[in-house]
Chains A and B, each alone.
Chain A
């Protein structure tokens, strides 16, 4: 197999919000099976794939996690006329939803809907200057109310509908590149690891419910209690008007995060590995606990050595998230080499301050 880009494109058009990750899980599991000795799904729905390392005795245990959920909506009310009101599971900017096509995952099957808004002709000038809150938006199924009530129930999940667009320079755009890009990194890493000798036992995990509060990471971190827990998640691509320390160039390699809630020795090691293998990288600074699974990992159970890497994407949490497959490959190289070089001496050093 050349690379996992076709799989990434498939994942980006598959639908899986917090708490209903099944469809994406079903796509991922066979691919994980091709690399792992054992693949399990836990109570929360996290997928844990184990790839054993070489060597006798105690081996390093490293957890690599990418969340497989995407930001989604939930049907909260059915209004007169059959229009749906929705609430968030994950952080949409309601302004990006106006005019958006979405999929309502109903019991009898998926239904297409359009997020409705008042046409400009009917909008008062002062209204046009204001952004509509989510509570003012509605989903239009173009069906009579009775048909809607028959098919749709309160609590049904809604996700964005968007094809993948292949842009120039191996860049691709679509929905849920956050965080399917990192699922691709996970698989690309396992692929590269097959060509390397590694002592570490690898737990490759696709986590659930990240977008509603790092929930899958909390429980899987507790369950596995690895020596090192690395979250793979996207970060902000450079774009005009953003602060310099919150902007990372596309095609300039993965961002490696540094800050109080990440283990500084794991960070340093990742940087060293990148330097040695001439892998381009960028450094992301955080002052507060990061908004990614690594945050939950650090305080799971007795506390874990946590790290965060990921590729920059533009237009995060919209249906046109844009990133570069070249960055995905560089991130996978970084992780594969990091894992291949991880040994027990390093693990023991993690508790030395």
Chain B
């Protein structure tokens, strides 16, 4: 299953190779052309010469991860690895998680001093990242250096599985869900030029998308994303952002974008017309690639379609498979309605 493969692929920000290769394999022979640019964005193209609006779909390939910055030498630390975050990681989610490091996927665990040995006041506080280590079982620094080097990236070693009621858990649904939707969308036939941009470096500032949008210069752009979902015990309506299983979410405003109201309404009405559940994303915080895309060049019309993801940026994220499916249906409906001229620029 594509979502499983993508979710388990290794793609911390700046190290998206594995994900790019999975996508390239999936789309091989199914699009007119596929190119990588100098940043590592993978851009798939269909019908470049067709008339009509040039549409760009975007999903970012990168995920939050870690970078090994030091292999400790000497003393009790010897052979343990120091690391820093690649992208926004809450240090509180790190302790006691397994990780995979570097091109050889060397397994390791993130450890800390046992709770028994922590002073009462220490126990009250989250453990800061510079007090955590990755343990790969090395005997000493030389042993560790044989398999890991500073600069190697690491990801959480979370396996994909379906559980509960039409739900799936795994790592990096933000934004492998978007990648899966985009792979699927690139295989639909539309009468206008369609560009699928699988971008890099979203997690450190929407960087790949900005360059990709400049190259493509689309008339319409849609970012496909995983977004915050916190519809859990104790969360009031306005603190949830999105509700699990209630369909894809559309944005009115986030930290980087005030939505193009006409386009947001067009997508909303499309969902209603096609009987697809849809919801508004009800929070200001967070952002996605459209935040960078819409400001490129002369300005670009569009928006985003987001799949609610519980525990986004944590090692284990949870999505509703119905939401994923409905996001795909909505995207197809939107592409079809654009073809039918329901949205005029």
Direct contact of A and B (CB under 8 A): yes
Does B40 count as interface, using CB distance less than 8 angstroms? yes
Contact B85 A287, beta carbon cutoff 8 Å: yes
A interface majority secondary structure:
loop
Chain B residues with CB under 8 Å of A53's CB are none
Interface membership of B343, Cβ < 8 A: no
Chain A residues contacting B70 (CB-CB under 8 Å) are 244-245
In the complex the two chains form, is B207's CB within 8 Å of A299's CB? yes
For A351, list chain B residues within 8 Å (CB). Answer: 35-38
Contact of B215 among A245, A261, A303, A353 (CB under 8 A): A303
Q: Which of A244, A285, A304, A353 contacts B151 (CB 8 A)?
A: A285
Q: Does A281 contact B (CB under 8 A)?
A: no
In the complex, are the beta carbons of B17 and A299 less than 8 A apart? no
The chain A residue with its CB closest to the CB of B200 is A260
Instruction: Choose from A285, A289, A302, A350 the contact partner of B69 (Cβ within 8 Å).
Output: A285
Q: Annotate A340-353 by CB proximity to B: 1 below 8 A, 0 otherwise.
A: 00000000001111
Judge whether A305 and B13 touch: CB under 8 Å.
no
- The SS class assigned to the B binding surface is mixed
**CB < 8 Å neighbour of B150 from A245, A299, A303:** A245
Please determine whether A287 and B86 come into contact, CB atoms closer than 8 angstroms.
yes
Contact B86 A289 (CB under 8 A): no
Chain A proximity of B297: nearest CB distance (Å): 10
- Give Cα distance in the complex from A243 to B130, angstroms: 10
CB A298 to nearest CB in B, in angstroms, measures 7
Which among A261, A263, A302, A353 is the interface contact of B17 at CB below 8 angstroms?
A353
Say whether B39 faces chain A, with CB atoms less than 8 Å apart: yes
A353 to B41, CA, bound (A): 9
Q: Given B13, B82, B211, B214, which contacts A245 in the complex, CB threshold below 8 Å? A: B82
Interface residues of B in 19-56 (CB under 8 A from A): 20, 35-42
Query: Is A288 at the interface (CB under 8 A from chain B)?
Result: yes
Q: Does B15 contact A (CB under 8 A)?
A: yes
Can you offer 11 A-B residue contacts whose CB atoms are under 8 A?
A244-B70, A244-B82, A245-B70, A260-B86, A283-B151, A285-B84, A288-B204, A298-B211, A302-B38, A303-B37, A303-B215
Give residues in B with beta carbon < 8 Å to A.
13-15, 17, 20, 35-42, 67, 69-70, 82, 84-86, 130, 150-151, 200-201, 204-205, 207-208, 210-212, 214-215
